[in-house]
Amino acid sequence: MADAPPDSPAPATAKPSAVELAKIASNYLVGDIPKELADGAPGFGKPSVQLLKNHGTYQQDDREARKAVDGKKSERQISFMIRTCVPGGKLTAEQLLAAIDLGDELGNGTIRLTTRQAIQHHGVVKGELKSFMQRVHANQLTTLAACGDVERNIMCCPAPIHGDRVREEMQAKVDELARHLAPRTRAYYEIWLTDPDTGEKTLAAGGAKEAEVEPIYGPTYLPRKFKTAFALPEDNCTDVYANDLGFIVVHENGKILGYNVLAGGGMGVTPSAAKTFPALAKRLGFVPPEDVLAIAEAIVKVQRDYGNRSDRKVARLKYTIHTLGLDNFRAKVEEYFGKPLAPCHPADVHGFDDHIGWFPQGDGKYFYGLNVENGRIHDTGDFRLKTALRRILGDLKPGVRITSHQSLLFTDLAITDRERIAEILHAHGVKTSEEISPLRRWSMACVALPTCGLAVAESERVLPGLIDSLEPEVAKLGLSHDAFTLRMTGCPNACARPYNSDIGIVGRTAGKYTIFLGGRLLGDRLNEEYKDVVPFEHLCHELTAVLACYKAERKPAETLGDFCHRKGVANVRTWADEWLAGARGG
Ligand code: SRM
Ligand code: SF4
């Protein structure tokens, strides 16, 4: 690896981390993957496991399946999570159907819509990895760079509003940027897409002719994952402030004037390492539309050259900015950009829409946002969402979009499809979005157990039950129509973005959680710790007490997050504890 620049957060003498060493030795992400793919073992060695992330797959060990082998801790049960990129969440009905088929044929029978508008499959065995990647490729999608130390799936408001030139132009810009920042290595094509019979012919069109070097990333790619989102001021459905790089469209009279550029957002924390922290992105400057690719490339390159490559805990862009200072960081970006950045336009996020429900598209057709609880598409007992989706996608052939709230939009529908969709959902035990409480609709949980190797507590599997118990309490308080974000994760890595939501519930240890309050739907404010080490069984009444306080003391039209922020989390706690003790009639 080239020496770090003199004022880099990582001193030039610092030893590169194990992941950096794996990248250095990998020849653009090849390493020992081809050899180990054919060695008959159930998994890969450590360096390959790290490299594989850049190819879109994580080696996992299902802890429950492991126990099931002989009733106690025993052999690891290795399988793979595979993430497929879907820039801006845009898909066709055929593509989603093919992804569902893949889950049935090579995965664990379910698929997962992620908090970044992508798709995850779990439970794929090593011997099927290659055919899996080939089928994703045949489906006109890729897993390349869905994970790893590169630009990830770029998020964008998915709403299909015809004639809304601003949204359309922004969505097209996302596709352009996703292509621009995609890794160019041929490793992916050579490892996964070679002809299964000859082993030689590259199946990817044009792949063989592409230069092997990475003009943007270089041989060691980025020090850490890198995430980008686009948002509109009136609709921050992508949580733009939680990203390494954010673009807020500045528009007037149906025309995009340019973008406010934000940098250095990120949620993950390691509680035992005080040097780690969640951060909202900082407002860096303004660029006209034609400079979006160049400014993104400049920021990526500054992070490439100045990010910490010895300590992955502090390698994200937020730490690079923290160490350099915002002004020095901006100066570096301007150097790579080749000109000064204009100051930010005053435009900022002021609205949020999850696009759930029925909406006219502006071309005589409609789109329907279907809330998918925690993004999990499955058939379990009487709840047969997967089969219902097969029917909707097969019969109506709508366009499809994935939202950054783990849900689906069906587009290009006729008004007469409304009844048909409700009929299909009901016939398969699935509620329409209109039948779901705002509490459930605005909630999200990360994957956590049993597949996530970093989970310390449950999330996806317990949030629906928590909401079941909270719904009657919310109704008793007369708050059933209030919208506030409730986000839960199985560890502080924060994959469901709990640190800028109205209520964040973060796994602390088995069965215990930290509660955070005071963020908001808009996603532009971090919340604060409210209570720590709360047993799962206490979450319902702890949250009911907070909501009782909100109900009693809020100002008209004040949202939950704004209320907690104004009153102060400590004062909410005092009030709620008295309510719980009965002193306030709780
Ligand atoms: Fe995440 C790691 C799942 C969005 C912060 N995340 C993981 C892994 C891969 C666990 C691992 O490293 O072994 C999880 C896989 C679990 C499984 O079994 O599927 C995982 N993250 C997810 C998804 C699927 C959660 C979901 O319920 O949808 C999301 C996939 C998004 C995608 O399509 O790309 C997901 N992860 C996020 C987000 C939200 C976002 O990006 O908007 C965050 C917080 C924002 C951020 O990046 O700071 C997030 N994930 C992390 C972190 C902490 C990063 C950090 O800087 O500290 C880790 C751990 C790490 O990287 O070391 C992590
Ligand atoms: Fe796993 Fe933690 Fe992310 Fe949840 S927040 S998916 S437990 S890494």
Separation of 479 CA from ligand 2 center, angstroms?
Answer: 30
Could you tell me the distance, in angstroms and rounded to a whole number, from the CA of residue 128 to the centre of ligand 1?
Answer: 24
What's domain 357-436's superfamily in CATH? Sulfite Reductase Hemoprotein;Domain 2 (3.90.480.10)
User: How far lies 4's CA from each of 220, 310, 317, in Å?
Assistant: 12, 11, 15
Nearest ligand atom owner, CA of 124: 1
Domain boundaries, the chain: 357-436, 440-585
Burial zone of 13 (CB within 10 Å; 0-12 exposed, 13-18 middle, 19+ buried): exposed
pLDDT of residue 77: 87
The answer to whether 230 and 170 have CB atoms below 8 angstroms apart is yes
User: Does residue 375's CB lie within 6 angstroms of at least one atom of ligand 2?
Assistant: no
| Ligand 2 atom, smallest distance to 449 CA | 7
Q: Which atom of ligand 1 is nearest to the CA of 268?
A: 57
* Closest atom of ligand 1 to CA, residue 459: 27
Ligand 1 centroid – CA 452 distance (Å): 10
Main-chain dihedrals φ then ψ at residue 298, nearest 5 degrees? -60, -45
For the record, the structure tokens of 277 come out as 């922290």
Are 118 and 85 in contact by the 8 Å Cβ rule? The answer is: yes
Give 411's pLDDT tier (boundaries 50, 70, 90). very high
Nearest in space to 572 (alpha carbons), one of 489, 521, 488, 562: 562
| 440-585: CATH, from 3.30.413.10, 3.90.1720.10, 3.90.25.10, 3.30.70.990 | 3.30.413.10
- 81 ligand 1 Cβ < 6 A: yes
- Centre of ligand 1 from the C-alpha of residue 495, in Å: 4
**The predicted structure's pLDDT at residue 65:** 76
Do residues 375 and 113 touch, judged by C-beta distance below 8 A? yes
Single pTM value for the model: 0.95
Amino acid present at 264: G
Of the candidate ranges 206-210, 246-250, 501-505, 578-582, the one whose mean pLDDT is the lowest: 206-210
CB distance 385 to 370 below 8 Å: no
Flag the least confident range among 128-142, 197-211, 352-366, 388-402. Answer: 197-211
- 242 band by pLDDT with thresholds 50, 70 and 90: very high
- Centroid of ligand 1 to alpha carbon of 453 (angstroms): 11
Q: Which of 115, 147, 277, 402 to mutate to test the pocket of ligand 1 (most atoms within 8 A of CB)?
A: 115
**Residue where the block lists tokens 């009136």:** 234
Position 197 confidence tier, pLDDT thresholds 50, 70, 90? low
Say if ligand 2 is within 6 A of residue 446 CB.
Answer: yes
In 3D space, the residue among 490, 586, 496 whose CA is nearest the CA of residue 543 turns out to be 586
572: tokens are 């909410």
Burial pattern 420-444, b for ≥16 Cβ within 10 A else e, equals ebbebbeebebbbbeebbebbbbbb
Contacts of 4 (CB under 8 A, 6+ apart): 10, 11, 12, 14, 305, 306, 309
- Residue 204 Cα to ligand 1 middle (Å): 29
β partners of residue 121? 82
Cβ 459 under 6 angstroms from ligand 2: yes
**Is residue 249 within 6 Å of ligand 2 at its C-beta?**
no
Residues 66-75: tens digit of each pLDDT:
765 655 656 7
- pLDDT tens digits, 474-509: 999 999 999 999 999 999 999 999 999 999 999 999
| Chain Cα centroid distance, residue 327 | 29
For residue 146, give the nearest of 92, 183, 180, 191 by alpha carbon.
183
Atom of ligand 2 nearest to the CA of 507: 7
pLDDT at 466: 98
Summarize pLDDT for 532-572 with one digit per residue, the tens.
999 999 999 999 999 999 999 999 999 999 999 999 999 99
Contact 455 CB / ligand 2 (< 6 Å): yes
CA 539 to centroid of ligand 1, rounded, Å: 24
Of the candidates 56, 61, 102, 64, which has an alpha carbon nearest to the alpha carbon of residue 461? 64
Q: Where are the alpha helices (DSSP H) in 397-458?
A: 417-427, 438-441
- Residue of 218, 219, 401, 385 lying closest to 301 (CA atoms): 218
CB 453 within 8 A of CB 418: no
In the chain, what's the furthest Cα-to-Cα distance? 77
Q: At what angle do helices 292-306 and 317-324 cross, to 10 degrees?
A: 80
pLDDT in tens, 36-92: 999 999 999 999 999 999 999 999 998 777 765 655 656 778 999 999 999 999 999
Nearest ligand for residue 278 CA:
1
**Closest ligand relative to 508 C-alpha:** 2
Answer whether 264 contacts ligand 1 (Cβ < 6 A): no
Measure the CA–CA gap between 536 and 547, rounded to whole angstroms: 17
> Rounded to an integer, what distance in angstroms lies between the CA atom of residue 253 and that of residue 356?
26
Question: Does the pLDDT of residue 1 top 60, yes or no?
Answer: no
User: Does residue 130 surpass a pLDDT of 90?
Assistant: yes
User: Which ranges of 372-476 does DSSP label H, i.e. alpha helix?
Assistant: 385-396, 417-427, 438-441, 463-476
Is 526's pLDDT higher than 60?
A: yes
Of all protein residues, the one whose alpha carbon is nearest to atom 2 of ligand 2 is 491
Indicate whether residue 491 lines ligand 2 (CB < 6 A).
yes
- Kindly state the percentage of the chain with pLDDT values over 70: 93
Q: Is 355 in the pocket of ligand 1 (CB under 6 A)?
A: no
Does ligand 1 have an atom closer than 6 angstroms to the CB of 240?
no
Catalytic residues: 83, 152, 225, 227, 446, 452, 491, 495
Task: Give the gyration radius of the chain's Cα atoms.
Answer: 24
For residues 501-525, average pLDDT: 97
Is the model's pLDDT at 8 over the cut of 60? no
